[in-house]
A and B are shown apart, each in its own frame.
Chain A
Amino acid sequence: MRAPDLFRFARDAATGNPLRSSLLVLAMSIGVGAVVVLTALGDGARRYVVNEFSSIGTNLVIVLPGRSQTGGFNPGNSITNTPRDLTVDDAQAMLRASAVRRVAPMTVGTSEISFGGKLREVFVVGATAEFIDVRRLSLAQGRFLPTGDWRRGASEAVIGAKIRDELFGSEPALGQLVRVGDRRFRIVGVMAATGQGLGQNTDELVIVPVALAQAMFNSNTLFRILVEANSREAIERAKTQVAEIVKQRHEGEEDVTVITQDAVLATFDRLLGALTLAVAGIAAISLAVAGILVMNVMLVSVTQRTAEIGLLKALGATGATIRRAFLAEAAMLSLAGAVLGYLIGQTAAFLLRQMYPAFPAYAPDWAVLAGLGTALVTGILFGVLPARRAARLDPVESLAKR
């Protein structure tokens, strides 16, 4: 039998029983659709988190006070484990490192902001002029904190977009005096609105000079020191240099944790990549179920078409031809189901993206290919048994069937 004839024959056989065929196509399409949608969700989550973390800044090395729990147990450390403060002086010292471009010490705390009788709780960030550059943030109005001595600072504040709206409404905010905690600050700038995001939401922040924030919260230690390396290649060097500087200043004790943004990113990337893979695996189970359905549907088809198979043999069809015809039918139906499932999955992912524009719900190529491939392979694999059964039927007995 010629290949085009074989496919036409298989197609006619498939369309000759629409209920059976649509059932099979549906099962297959659900499987493939599930793979596409679920991996779009999983990979979307991964991209979302990775994007958000990248937007914190680039080439970042982050210094935290205290030993990281993951750093391993060190008996020498555990005895004298009163972590020294991570101070503004430490941050200042880091500027000496050759691989470091910028350093942004920061401290955080909550307080209240009031203006013209309005009062609300705010998240206060103590920062320096470098903060806006290191974090790749932008201003909507005015200017950021001025450069100068980190240990001092004018009573000036930069507020987030939402704070501005709530406190000042349509009135100008720049130049106004507000009260934060028990101190008065002059508003010199307003941050650009960032919207919801994991890492970079500044909309509800009040940013004041780090020295004033430390005084306000009566604390000497910093929450973080953000260090920007000269380049991507310099990140590791910056990390060791910074760690060394702090160690020297802290009398030889490694009482801070230095992490790189890359490492954090890689961890999240791995974690969420594994999640996507797991989700794809779960979806693949539905493909296996579809495969079993293919087998059963094709077996029913063989039974229903026993007389036809007998006839084909009487007309000179070899066992191989009959086997191929049934396999082609299974493959065709699986392919149709896979394509339909692909379209359904992509449409669902598209709708997801329309509903949640911030969420990049794109199914990764590998998942789409794997989904389509698995559908075809399971379809054909589970089609083999029915096809062989058909090819082995006894022609006389088959012809006697009605």
Chain B
Amino acid sequence: MDALIKLSGIERIFHLGDSEVHALRHLDLRIHPGEYVAVMGPSGSGKSTLLNLLGLLDRPNAGSYHLEGRDVTTLTPEEQARVRSRRIGFVFQSFHLVPRLTAAENIALPMTLAGIAPAERQRRVERALNDYGLANRASHRPNELSGGQRQRVAIARATVMQPAMILADEPTGNLDRATGEEVMHLLETLNQSGVTLIVVTHDAVLGSRARRQLLMEDGELRHDSASAA
């Protein structure tokens, strides 16, 4: 089976004044469609940088990134935006909902941006609201929702374009244990339906639920449970 993600020789260097921060060092990585990957490691080890790169929000200083067989590092910003729109769903630690929009409108936002017809949007939003137990919260604004509900809206939003992969950077970081559990369960259900799931987490317990663990340290991939096995 072809890799969904193929990173080779990735370097990401940040310049802070005179000093250089090597956020990612010579990274090689393959992830296959449908995998469930937990990215772990100490703070500052480059987990978020890796995820941003995978999500085409950032560009590497060196190396190549093939997504579904296509070299995406050389794409124009517009083409990258299109790939983000169709193939990638983000879930953030701090939810990142638009405060003035209702739950339904937040879920519809990626489709609105992609120019999908209102009728189709309506249909998909309704299904997502039902799937995520938000049917009676459709017209609530984020500040009227609990943390768990907000993250469920964010997950609904990340999936509504039916992406190939979901990138979640500490999705339970702002939630209590029970709610975090609930959110992880939702993401895992999505993964079972075939979506590739990549989760950054500090929590070893949550991380161990993934079929594959990546351990980052100082910008390097220290341990990959797939290659160790």
Q: Which A residues are closer than 8 A to B by beta carbons?
A: 1-2, 5, 9, 12-13, 15-16, 307-308, 310-321, 395-396, 399, 402
Q: Are B58 and A396 in contact (CB under 8 A)?
A: yes
B-side contacts of A315, CB under 8 Å: 84-85, 90, 109-110, 113, 157
Most buried by A among B57, B86, B99, B101: B57
Most buried by B among A2, A311, A312, A319: A311
Q: Are B110 and A399 in contact (CB under 8 A)?
A: no
Among B25-33, B75-83, B128-136, B196-204, the stretch that binds chain A is: B75-83
Q: Does B155 sit at the interface, judged by CB under 8 A?
A: no
Most buried by B among A5, A312, A315, A317: A315
Q: Does B94 sit at the interface, judged by CB under 8 A?
A: yes
Q: Are A399 and B112 in contact (CB under 8 A)?
A: no
CB distance from B37 to the nearest CB of A (A): 19
A-side contacts of B94, CB under 8 Å: 402
CB distance from A76 to the nearest CB of B (A): 82
Q: Report if A316-B85 is in contact (Cβ < 8 Å); known contacts: A12-B100, A12-B101.
A: yes
CB distance from A364 to the nearest CB of B (A): 41
Q: Does B52 sit at the interface, judged by CB under 8 A?
A: yes
CB distance from A399 to the nearest CB of B (A): 7
Q: Are A320 and B78 in contact (CB under 8 A)?
A: yes
Q: Report if A314-B57 is in contact (Cβ < 8 Å); known contacts: A308-B98, A396-B52, A399-B96.
A: yes
Q: Report if A395-B96 is in contact (Cβ < 8 Å); known contacts: A1-B113, A1-B115, A319-B78.
A: no
CB distance from A92 to the nearest CB of B (A): 86
CB distance from A344 to the nearest CB of B (A): 28
A-side contacts of B77, CB under 8 Å: 318-319
Q: Are A321 and B84 in contact (CB under 8 A)?
A: no
Closest to B157 in A: A315
B-side contacts of A308, CB under 8 Å: 98
A-side contacts of B58, CB under 8 Å: 395-396
Q: Are A316 and B161 in contact (CB under 8 A)?
A: yes
Closest to A402 in B: B94
Q: Are B98 and A399 in contact (CB under 8 A)?
A: no
Contact of A316 (CB < 8 Å), options: B52, B81, B92, B118:
B81
Contact of B112 (CB < 8 Å), options: A9, A16, A319:
A9
Contact of B100 (CB < 8 Å), options: A1, A16, A319, A321:
A16
Secondary structure at chain A's binding surface: helix, strand, loop or mixed? helix
Q: Does B114 sit at the interface, judged by CB under 8 A?
A: yes
B-side contacts of A316, CB under 8 Å: 81-82, 84-86, 110, 113-114, 161
Closest to B109 in A: A315
Q: Does B55 sit at the interface, judged by CB under 8 A?
A: yes
Q: Are B84 and A1 in contact (CB under 8 A)?
A: no
Having A316-B81, A318-B81, A395-B58, one finds 10 other A-B pairs with CB under 8 Å, namely: A12-B101, A310-B96, A314-B55, A315-B84, A316-B84, A316-B85, A318-B78, A318-B82, A396-B57, A399-B92
CB distance from B27 to the nearest CB of A (A): 17
Q: Are A2 and B85 in contact (CB under 8 A)?
A: no
CA gap between A83 and B99 in the complex, in Å: 87
Q: Are A2 and B115 in contact (CB under 8 A)?
A: yes
CA gap between A316 and B57 in the complex, in Å: 10
CA gap between A308 and B157 in the complex, in Å: 14
Q: For chain B, residues 85 to 122, give those with C-beta under 8 angstroms from any C-beta of chain A.
A: 85-86, 90, 92, 94, 96, 98-101, 109-110, 112-115, 118
Closest to B161 in A: A316
CB distance from A143 to the nearest CB of B (A): 79
Closest to A314 in B: B90
Q: Are B112 and A13 in contact (CB under 8 A)?
A: no
CB distance from A308 to the nearest CB of B (A): 6
Q: Are A317 and B113 in contact (CB under 8 A)?
A: yes
Q: Are A313 and B98 in contact (CB under 8 A)?
A: no
Closest to A15 in B: B100
B-side contacts of A15, CB under 8 Å: 100
What are 15 contact pairs spanning A and B, CB under 8 A?
A2-B112, A5-B112, A12-B100, A313-B57, A314-B96, A316-B82, A316-B113, A316-B114, A317-B85, A318-B82, A319-B77, A319-B78, A319-B81, A320-B78, A399-B96
A-side contacts of B57, CB under 8 Å: 313-314, 395-396, 399
Q: Are B112 and A1 in contact (CB under 8 A)?
A: yes
Sort A-B residue pairs by CB-CB distance and give the 9 closest, nearest first: A316-B85, A16-B100, A318-B81, A395-B57, A315-B110, A316-B84, A311-B96, A317-B113, A314-B90
A-side contacts of B85, CB under 8 Å: 315-317
CB distance from B34 to the nearest CB of A (A): 22
Closest to A16 in B: B100
CB distance from A1 to the nearest CB of B (A): 6
Most buried by B among A317, A320, A402: A317
CB distance from A85 to the nearest CB of B (A): 85
Most buried by B among A1, A314, A319: A314
A-side contacts of B99, CB under 8 Å: 16
Q: Are B100 and A314 in contact (CB under 8 A)?
A: no
Closest to A17 in B: B100
Most buried by A among B58, B96, B113, B157: B113
CA gap between A318 and B110 in the complex, in Å: 12
CB distance from A373 to the nearest CB of B (A): 30
Closest to B154 in A: A311
CB distance from A177 to the nearest CB of B (A): 87
B-side contacts of A307, CB under 8 Å: 96
CA gap between A313 and B114 in the complex, in Å: 11
CA gap between A15 and B82 in the complex, in Å: 29
B-side contacts of A313, CB under 8 Å: 57, 81, 84
Closest to A307 in B: B96
CA gap between A312 and B57 in the complex, in Å: 11
CB distance from A179 to the nearest CB of B (A): 85
